[in-house]
Amino acid sequence: MNPFQYVSPRTVDRAVSLAADRGRFFAGGIDVLGEMKEYIASPPVLVNVKDLPATRDITMGKGSWTIGANVTISEIEQHAELKRVFPSLQQAAAEVGSPQIRNVATVGGNLAQHSRCWYYRHRDIHCLKKGGGTCYAQDGENKYHSLFSGNPCISPVVSNLAIALAALDAKVAVRRGKEEVKLTIPELYAKAWENPEAHHSLGPTDLILRVQVPDDGRRSAYMQISEKANFDWALVSCAAAAKVDGKKLGKVRVVLGAVAPIPYQVQAAHEFLEGKELNDDVATHASEIILKDASPLAHNGYKVPIAAALIRRTLRQLVG
């Protein structure tokens, strides 16, 4: 690890200005410190944002909940009222790393984390995501990689919370320059679909402040399949949310994780499910619509049947 300065600003303005000179924001630090230890990143300044005001609270407002960027994953996992209102969010949080990691990892860090692709994480490989000319996963070891991508890089999004929050139509408040902007989850990750070097749509000085989740009476669920029962990344994950009347679905969202550089959803599937009574045939057809354009590679074709099963099972949780 190369030498660096460590600073702890007390205001958002100061944090953004300190990050402007090739600095990196630091909260739980799990991702950025990992990149520094692997010599993937060598920021001259680490900007500690853990102490910024109004970023550690979970609050219920009129029609929505606000979750500060520095709320830990454990706090989401253990928050009884959040679990009641947004079970998918609690389920997604409970799958993040180990209890020790969840105690320090933050909401903002989980959303902004970088690729876990082993080619990207190898210090001696200059892959496409690091500005090179080749995605080595395309013809190499691609067991954990994407089924869908808008660019040659097939590194998938790895944030659990992003998948659950996308299904819940959450918005993320981001300090961008001198303004605060609100991004939907698709907007937060859109650049990763288009640009092989992007992990998300955040610039170097864009700072996540909080997440706003609408409380509109929808039920939600999250499921994932991993190789190990605990402390493992998802091979495929799925979140779903809908208003449920008996078994009839409304305002439906189904989102897949670990299969694309973005939380992956297909509007045609939402339109198909709208107003339908959920049964096995309906759930199966929805999965077929979502997976229609999948492009499996040499080692990740197993993800297609797993994704299909997760879509069906997650939808059933909404009406079960």
pTM, to two decimals? 0.97
Domain at 219-319, CATH homologous superfamily: CO dehydrogenase flavoprotein, C-terminal domain (3.30.390.50)
Whether residue 221 has pLDDT greater than 90? yes
Q: Which CATH architecture has domain 1-51?
A: 2-Layer Sandwich (3.30)
**pLDDT digits over 121-168, tens only?**
999 999 999 999 999 999 999 999 999 999 999 999 999 999 999 999
Which residue from 93, 62, 61 is spatially nearest to 79, judged by alpha carbons?
Answer: 93
Instruction: Specify whether the CB–CB gap between 74 and 102 falls below 8 A.
Output: yes
Least confident of 73-82, 86-95, 213-222, 226-235: 226-235
**pLDDT digits over 171-192, tens only?**
999 999 999 999 999 999 999 9
Polymer length in residues for the chain:
320
pLDDT at 21: 83
Domain 1-51 shares a fold with domain 219-319: no
**pLDDT digits over 28-61, tens only?**
988 999 999 999 999 999 999 999 999 999 999 9
**pLDDT digits over 21-30, tens only?**
889 999 998 8
The full set of domain ranges for the chain reads 1-51, 58-113+155-214, 219-319
Instruction: Provide the pLDDT confidence category of residue 112 given band limits of 50, 70 and 90.
Output: very high
**pLDDT digits over 286-306, tens only?**
999 999 999 999 999 999 999
Residues 231 and 298: their CA atoms lie apart, in Å, by 26
Instruction: Provide the pLDDT confidence category of residue 231 given band limits of 50, 70 and 90.
Output: confident
**pLDDT digits over 68-99, tens only?**
999 999 999 999 999 999 999 999 999 999 99
**pLDDT digits over 116-132, tens only?**
999 999 999 999 999 99
Would you identify the CATH topology of the domain 58-113+155-214?
Answer: 3.30.465
